[in-house]
Structure 1
Amino acid sequence: MAHLVLQKQSDNSAASGRIFSVCLAVAATLTSLFITVIASEERGATWAEKAVWVATGVVILLAAHLLPALTKGARMSVKGMALPIWIAALLATGYTHATFFLNAQGRVGEQRASDVGATMSVPALPSVHSLRSRTKIAADVATTLRNLALLDIGRCGANCGAVNARRKALSARLEALRIEDAEAVRAEKAADARMAAVDRSQKAQDNARVDPFVANLAAVLRLRTDLISLIMAIVLGWLVDAVAVVSWASVARSRPGAVVPEIAPQAPVAAPVLRTCDVSGAAAVVGQAAANEPLLHEEFVAPSIGECEFPVEPAVAAATAQEEELASLADLAVAIRAGRVKSTLSSIRAHLGCTDGAAMALRRRLAEEHPDLFRPVSRLC
């Protein structure tokens, strides 16, 4: 009873493990199928190209996931042919999954960059009437100062009014040039500030395009962020594939009929040999039967009144069987010497009514104890 309870608990545990393996395998394969369909669809331009890419990816994916389970228990030649196919399918599936993860990461990075660009304000350039550079303005200032210096050196004479008017005009032009130069300086500062803001915005957008974990890991490992992104995409893709492969292999290993629990055979419990005895004490062995076998013959029962039954110990039963075997051996030797029985197996079996094994054992004992019965009889010439 305890053995049946333990076996039932073991069967329930195996069934639960099988259900979990099936669910995990189906989930991993469906996830990989979705990834393959999306990644393959992005590689084609027309619907026909997309369909071909999707079909190719699905076939390769199923081969990568199911080949180990399908070849379980097959011959070594079949496994040897399937191994390179499975490795190639696994590499192709990893490439497809890496493509999906990189494209998805790029799209979400662009979305983060656009959000960052929308939140950061870039100052506008001020409206400037003059497009002249400060170099030209400085040249005009130098010319105006030279003319003023020439007027200061010369004498006015009869045209003092005209000289004064020219001096005022040059002074006004010099002031205008200085104002223009100040405006140019302010415009340059505003342009520099705008360029700095644009640079900050571009840098923030570039940082937003990269996954934060990838950026920190690249900083720790001192590697490029694109290399870290590629490695992470390949690892994630192969991890999903590994879960699917192991789960399907577990399902194939625990399928019904694959493992049959062995039940230890129970040795038959021998019932004690009953020996009957009458009142006078004459004893005879009645019979011997297993405890789990029904009594089919009346010779196993001694119903006569005045007889008693008592169990015989196993050692006594063995001694009785040995005595019977010796008696049969002696009777057989006498019969062979008398010519009633031959020393062949068939003759011994027919004489005693026993099996081939018992007849062979008796013949072997007979050859050991009575070798003269097996010597060839010399014929008289």
Structure 2
Amino acid sequence: MSRAITYALALVVTATALAMAVASAWGRADAWVDRLTLAALSACIVLAVHLLPALGAGVKGWGRAAVVIVWPLCLLAAMVAHAGFFLNAWAASAQAQAAPVQQRQAEARAAQRQALETALAGIRARSVTTVAAQLATARAAADQGQAWATPARVERLQIELAEAQRAARLRDDLVALAGAVSEAAGDGAAALASDPVTRSFMAVTGASAAAVQLAVNGLLAVLVEVLGCLLWWLALAAPREARARIDRVARMPTPADNGADQENPAPVSVPDAAADLDVTASELEQVRRSITAGARPPTETFIRDLLRCSPEKARVIRRQLQDAARASPEIHVAPASAGAPMGFVG
């Protein structure tokens, strides 16, 4: 059950990492061929990061050295792809959140601009410099007593100058409004690009939003890749290594295999052990025939290989054969010597 859960988690993590890598690669190209190529490359890199340690667990020599060199490079490439995915996702989220606010701000500024343009269109005055020059000339002429410089003319020039100055202020307001629109758009995008967690990190560390986002993206990318690698190692490499250790222990020679206790075997309750391990007469006869034919010495390893049974069952069969040999004066199990293997002697 635990192995099935490990497989399921490994598949989920790998599928998630593949989706992130493919989505990141898909947004970096326009042509279909480029997109498919980048997506396939990203998928291969993610699979290599997740499966190389598990598949190369039993590799020795140059193969292990290649795995040690290639795996960190694949991890770095996968981190770059995942960081791009997170940045694109956060940018899209910031744009989606900023869209309503920017729309309301744009509508308010458009209305303000329309009001300023309407007010400016109603002003027919000439430029401030022209009107100011004429007013100065009229005032000088009036002081000299010239007839054309009447008080009414001077007053009209003063009114026109005030209107020209008002038109200049309206134009300045339009220019300032245009600059405020661009500046507010940039500040809003930068503020909305940082979520509350990022802003909290910025307040604690004093780093910029870009630095905090880069660190968070790198941490998430490493976590996804290392988690997938660990799960696949637990699902594939760990059981294989456990089976290899069991096989090595099972193949280790026992004292009975080395002939240490063959002359004076310890008394055992053969009927009970045989009943527990279901030793049949046909199995005993098969082993007896093989030993009599001189195929192999009657060791537990030979019996395991012959019957494909467990070490305990092989031990029980050997002891039964030894008991049968002691009970029969015609046939016995001879101990191994330096020149001849153990076998049945008639």
Specify the TM-score bucket, using the shorter chain as the normaliser: 0.5 to 0.7
1:292 aligns with 2:283: no
Aligned to 2:17: 32
* RMSD (Å), alpha carbons: 3.6
- What's the offset of the Cα at 1:28? 0.8
Partner Cα separation in structure 2 for residue 23 and residue 139 of structure 1: 83
Partner Cα separation in structure 1 for residue 140 and residue 88 of structure 2: 71
1:86 aligns with 2:71: yes
Moved more, 220-229 or 33-42: 220-229
Contact 1:39-1:100 at 8 Å conserved across structures = yes
Partner Cα separation in structure 2 for residue 132 and residue 213 of structure 1: 56
1:148 aligns with 2:139: yes
Partner Cα separation in structure 2 for residue 253 and residue 64 of structure 1: 17
2:117 is paired with a residue of what secondary structure?
coil
The alignment's TM-score, normalised by the length of structure 1, stands at 0.57
Describe how 1:44-123 pairs up with structure 2 within 5 A: 44-120=29-105, 121-122=108-109, 123=112
1:254 is paired with a residue of what secondary structure?
helix
Give CA deviations for 1:35-55 in whole Å, capped at 9, x if unaligned: 122122223332222222122
Contact 1:64-1:86 at 8 Å conserved across structures = yes
Contact 2:79-2:221 at 8 Å conserved across structures = yes
Count matched residues. 254
- What's the offset of the Cα at 1:205? 3.3
Partner Cα separation in structure 2 for residue 154 and residue 293 of structure 1: 148
Partner Cα separation in structure 2 for residue 78 and residue 202 of structure 1: 52
1:250 aligns with 2:238: no
Aligned to 1:211: 195
- What's the offset of the Cα at 1:293? 3.1
Contact 1:65-1:248 at 8 Å conserved across structures = yes
Q: Tell me which amino acid in the other structure corresponds to 1:99.
A: G
- What's the offset of the Cα at 1:63? 1.2
**Residue ranges of structure 1 left out of the alignment (5+ in a row):** 1-15, 156-162, 264-288, 296-349, 359-381
Alignment match of 1:220 (pick from 204, 211, 215): 204
Describe how 1:233-248 pairs up with structure 2 within 5 A: 233-248=217-232
Moved more, 188-197 or 30-39: 188-197
Moved more, 110-119 or 88-97: 110-119
Partner Cα separation in structure 2 for residue 171 and residue 154 of structure 1: 16
Contact 2:21-2:39 at 8 Å conserved across structures = yes
Give CA deviations for 1:29-81 in whole Å, capped at 9, x if unaligned: 01011112212222333222222212222222111111111112332442122
- What's the offset of the Cα at 1:169? 2.3
The alignment's TM-score, normalised by the length of structure 2, stands at 0.62
- What's the offset of the Cα at 1:20? 2.4
1:230 aligns with 2:214: yes
Partner Cα separation in structure 2 for residue 218 and residue 250 of structure 1: 38
Moved more, 181-190 or 82-91: 181-190
